[in-house]
Chains A and B, each alone.
Chain A
C-alpha cells in the first residue's frame, strides 16, 4: 500500500508542485491508551485540488489475508484483486457502497472492480471466513492510511485550511469520525489524532491454527 500511496503522492507532488507551495502533514495516530494505531484512515478536505482522472489500486490476497488490510481509495477507483496465494479465493462484498463477487479464481482477474460510490466496502472471502479487508471509498482529495507505527505523512499539500475525517475498522459502529479543522502552513504540520477503538467483535472468525496435516500438505504442495 505504501508503494501505491507513495506513487500517488509522487504523482500529486509532480502535479501540484508547480501550482502552489507544497506543504506536508505528518499525522500520528494513537488509541485511547496512547498506543500507536495502524490501519487508521485520514481524509482531508481543503483547498481545491485536481483529482486524479482515473485512479487505480490493488487489493492483494497474500497468505490468506487481504493486503493491505485497509485500503483507502477515491471514488471511482478501479481496484484489482490479484491473488498472490497458491490457493484460490472468492472475494465478495455485501456492502451497500459496492456489492460484488469474484468467483473462485487464482492469479489476477482480468477486470478490475470499479468503486464508484463513496462508503465503506467490507471484503470477505467466501471460502476463508477469517479473511477480512476494508476498502474505504472517499470523495476527499487527500487521504492516507497509517502504517504499522501509526504514522502517516501527506506531502505536496497546498497550505491552507483543512477539515479532517478519521476512520478505523474498530471505530465505534465503524462510522467515520470528525478529525477537526486545522490550517496546514507551508512549513508543514505535525498532528496527533486519537481514536477510541473498540475491541474486535467476537463474531469475527479467527484463522484456523496451522495443523500438522496442514503443514504436511503445505510442504508437499511446495516441493
Chain B
C-alpha cells in the first residue's frame, strides 16, 4: 500500500522533532548553565582560595614573626647579642634559628647594617637590602616580607632585640617550599605554585602541580603582572588561574615573587558528567516514550479515521444501511455520529429525490417519466393497456375564478377522484398543468371508453372549492396497445391527438383513429404557416354574388377567404379558420380580409362597379376594442363609404361576451357599417336577444335552405324566420341556394336576398367583375 507519509508518521515526526528541539535546547542550556556554574564555582573557589591563601600566608607570617619575637626575647639570646661577640652572635643565631626551623638568619644593627649573617650573599657589614622594607611593614600592617633569596621565595620576619631598649634586629628567613605549597593547597583547595624572579631570571619553581607542567606554569607566571583571572591550559587540563605578586619589598629592580593559584575546571566539569549522562538517558527514554506514545495516539486517531473514510466510501457507493460503529466520546466519535446521521439523511433525501423524480409534487401522482416507464414495461410484457389522455377544457376559466391556490386544491382532489374508477395496478399520472394520463391495464378500447365515461361523469359533478361550485369539463382521448401502436411515446402522442380531437366532439370523448396523427401533422403545419400566409401573398378573397330577389339584380357579394398553401394547395376555410380561431391568429386573418375587401371596393369604385361586400367577423374580433377604430381608419384610407360594408357575425360569437360584443357592434354601426347575423338558426339565441343587437340583416343558415321544400320542416322555419325578421325590420338573406324551386319559394316568401351556387359559386375578383358585367348584359343568366 502506498502511503508516502501517513498521518501517523507525520504526527510522530513532528512530535519527535519538537522533542529533539526541546531536549537539544535543554541540553545546550544545561551545558551552558553547568559551564557557567563551573566557571563561577571555579571563580568563587579561586577567589575564596586566593583569600584563604593570602590569609594563610599572612597567618604564617604572623606566626613566624611571633616565633621570632619570642625567640628574640630569650634572655640568653639577648645576652648573647648584647655581648657583641661576632662568633657568639652567629652561633646563637644558628641555634635559635634552628629552634623555629628558620632557613636563614641575620642580625642587623639599629642602623640597618648586617651584624651577622648565615648566608654569604649578604656579608657582614653590608647594609641589609630589605632593611627599609622591613621597617615599613608595620605601617603597611604586615608582618613579613616575601623576597627572592637564593633562587627561592622566602618569608622574612624581623624582631627587635630589646635590652630593654632595641639594640639590634634579628631577621629570619623561611623558604617557601613544597611543604608550604602542599599545605596551602590542602587548605585553599587550589593548585599553588611559587616562583621567584630576580633580574628577570626565574628561579626554581615550587608547585603542587606535577613536574611536566612546570614549563608552561613558568611561562604563565613570567608574564607581566595581571591580576585578572584567566583560563589557562596546562597539559590536557584547563584551569582558572590567578597570578598574585607576593613581593612587597617595593623594589623596582624587577625582583619579585609570584604565586599562581589555579582552580581546576576539569574536576568541576567532571562533577557535572553524571548530569550529562542522566540528561542523555532522560532524552533517550523521552524519545522512546514519545515515539511509543505518538504511535499509540496516532493509531488511536488514524484507525477511526480509516474506519470513517471507509464509511464515507461506502456511502459514496450508495450503501446507506451500514452504520459506522465507533464507540468513542471524543471528536471522532461525534464525527462518526454525524456521518451516521448524514447517511440516514442522504438515504432519506435520495428516496425523496427518487420519488420526486417520478412523481408530481402537487398531487403525488406519478409523473410522465414514471407513467412512460410503466407503459414501457407493459408493452415489453405484451400486456394490453389502454391510455386515457384527459384534459380539463375549462381549466383557464376555473383558474381565473378560484386562483392558483384553489387550482392546487382542485388538482389534488382530482388526483384522488381519477383513481376511483381504476383497478389496483392501473396508473394515474399528471403530465402537465391540466393534463392527466391514465393507464388501464388489460383493457380494450370499449372498456376504456366506459372508464372515460365514468370519469367524465365524476368530474362533472360540481365540487365546492373556495366557495365556488365547479364542474370540470374533461376531454378524454383514448389510445390502446397494441391496437394503436407499440411504443410508449407513439401511444401517448396518439392519445393526445385523440384528446385534441375530442375537444371538437360533443361528447368530449374520442378514440384514436388511424391516420389521425398525419392529420394532426397537417394541422400543425397549417397553424405554423397561417401566420405567414398573408405576408407571403398566399391569401386571396373570392366573392360570391348575392342576388336581390325582388329586382333580380346583384349589387352585393360575400367576400370569402381562400388560402393557397404552397405545399397542400388550396386549403378549405372550414379547416384553417377553425385552426386560426383555436390558435388565436384569426384576428390577423380578419384584419387582412377587411383591408383587402376595402382595397377591392376602392378599386371597383374607381371603375364604376359599386357593390356592397359582406365580411365575416369572428368571435375573437368582437373582443378587440380597437376594431371599430381600425375599420374607421381604413375606410378613410381607401375612401370607401361605410355603407358598402356588411360585417357578418355568428350568434355564438356574440353570446361569448355579450356586453363587450354589443359595445363593439354599436361602435361599428356608428361608423355606418351594416351588421348581419350569420348562420342564423344553428345557435341557441332567442329572438328577444336578437332584438337587442344593432343588426340590419339576418342570414338563414344554409342547412335550412339547401334542401328547401314546400313541405319540409325547414320551410316552416325559413318562412317564419323571414316573417319574423321582417317584423323586426331586418332584411333576410338565404344562403346555400342551389335549386331553382328553392329560389321560387324564397321569392314567394319575400326573402330579400339569395346566395348560393344557383346564382354563382365564389369567384375571384376578376371573374366576379366579368360575371357582373355579363349579368348586366343578360340579367336572366343570373338565375341560371
Residues of A near any B CB (own CB < 8 A): 92, 94-95, 99, 122-126, 129, 131-132, 174, 201-205
Q: Does B271 contact A (CB under 8 A)?
A: no
The 9 sampled A-B contact pairs (Cβ below 8 Å) are A94-B167, A95-B163, A99-B82, A122-B164, A124-B163, A125-B164, A131-B164, A201-B166, A203-B160
Tell me the nearest residue of chain A to B169, going by C-beta. A203
Q: Which of A99, A174, A204 contacts B162 (CB 8 A)?
A: A204
A92 to B166, CA, bound (A): 14
Tell me the nearest residue of chain B to A201, going by C-beta. B166
Residues of B139-180 whose CB lies within 8 A of A:
160, 162-167
Nearest 9 CB-CB pairs, A to B? A124-B164, A94-B82, A203-B160, A203-B166, A94-B163, A122-B165, A132-B164, A126-B75, A201-B166
Q: Which of B138, B160, B162 contacts A124 (CB 8 A)?
A: B162
B288 to chain A, nearest CB (A): 73
B321 to chain A, nearest CB (A): 110
Q: Which of B78, B138, B165 contacts A132 (CB 8 A)?
A: B165
Q: Contact check, B164 vs A123: say whether CB atoms are below 8 A apart.
A: yes
Mask: chain B, 72-93; 1 = CB below 8 Å from A; 0 = not: 0101001100100000000000
Q: Which of A129, A131, A174, A201 contacts B73 (CB 8 A)?
A: A129
Most A-side CB within 10 Å, residue of B78, B164, B165: B164
A100 to chain B, nearest CB (A): 12
A176 to B694, CA, bound (A): 188
Tell me the nearest residue of chain A to B69, going by C-beta. A205
User: Known contacts being A94-B79, A94-B82, is A205 close to B162, with CB within 8 Å?
Assistant: yes
Most A-side CB within 10 Å, residue of B73, B78, B82, B165: B165
A174 to B163, CA, bound (A): 14
A129 to B161, CA, bound (A): 11
A22 to B657, CA, bound (A): 193
Contacts of B166 in A (CB 8 A): 201, 203-204
A121 to B78, CA, bound (A): 16
Tell me the nearest residue of chain A to B166, going by C-beta. A203
Q: Contact check, A201 vs B165: say whether CB atoms are below 8 A apart.
A: yes
Extra inter-chain contacts (5) besides given A126-B75, A204-B162, CB under 8 Å: A94-B167, A95-B163, A99-B82, A129-B162, A174-B165
Per DSSP, are chain B's interface residues mostly helix, strand or loop, or mixed?
mixed
A124 to B82, CA, bound (A): 13
Contacts of A132 in B (CB 8 A): 164-165
Give chain B's interface residue range (CB within 8 Å of chain A).
10 to 19
A205 to B78, CA, bound (A): 15
A205 to B163, CA, bound (A): 11
A133 to B381, CA, bound (A): 163
Contacts of B79 in A (CB 8 A): 94
Contacts of A99 in B (CB 8 A): 82
Tell me the nearest residue of chain A to B81, going by C-beta. A94
B457 to chain A, nearest CB (A): 149
Tell me the nearest residue of chain A to B79, going by C-beta. A94
A122 to B162, CA, bound (A): 11
A174 to B164, CA, bound (A): 14
Contacts of A129 in B (CB 8 A): 73, 162, 164
A132 to B162, CA, bound (A): 10
Tell me the nearest residue of chain A to B167, going by C-beta. A94
A208 to chain B, nearest CB (A): 14
A17 to chain B, nearest CB (A): 40
Tell me the nearest residue of chain B to A120, going by C-beta. B165
Contacts of A95 in B (CB 8 A): 163
Q: Contact check, A122 vs B138: say whether CB atoms are below 8 A apart.
A: no
A99 to B167, CA, bound (A): 14
A38 to B138, CA, bound (A): 29
Contacts of B160 in A (CB 8 A): 203
A25 to chain B, nearest CB (A): 30
Contacts of A123 in B (CB 8 A): 164
Residues of B274-328 whose CB lies within 8 A of A:
none
A99 to chain B, nearest CB (A): 8
A92 to B164, CA, bound (A): 9
Contacts of A201 in B (CB 8 A): 165-166
Contacts of A203 in B (CB 8 A): 160, 162, 165-166
Contacts of B138 in A (CB 8 A): 202
A123 to B164, CA, bound (A): 7
B257 to chain A, nearest CB (A): 26
B598 to chain A, nearest CB (A): 164
Contacts of B78 in A (CB 8 A): 94
A204 to B167, CA, bound (A): 11
User: Known contacts being A94-B82, A202-B138, is A122 close to B75, with CB within 8 Å?
Assistant: no
B133 to chain A, nearest CB (A): 16
Contacts of A131 in B (CB 8 A): 164
Tell me the nearest residue of chain B to A130, going by C-beta. B164
B270 to chain A, nearest CB (A): 52
Tell me the nearest residue of chain B to A169, going by C-beta. B165
A23 to B714, CA, bound (A): 218
Contacts of A202 in B (CB 8 A): 138
A132 to B164, CA, bound (A): 7
Tell me the nearest residue of chain A to B161, going by C-beta. A203
A78 to B165, CA, bound (A): 23
Most B-side CB within 10 Å, residue of A92, A123, A131: A92
A201 to B161, CA, bound (A): 13
A110 to B733, CA, bound (A): 211
A202 to B166, CA, bound (A): 10
B131 to chain A, nearest CB (A): 14
Q: Contact check, A122 vs B73: say whether CB atoms are below 8 A apart.
A: no
Tell me the nearest residue of chain B to A124, going by C-beta. B164
Contacts of B165 in A (CB 8 A): 122, 132, 174, 201, 203-204
Contacts of B82 in A (CB 8 A): 94, 99
Mask: chain B, 386-425; 1 = CB below 8 Å from A; 0 = not: 0000000000000000000000000000000000000000
A94 to B78, CA, bound (A): 9
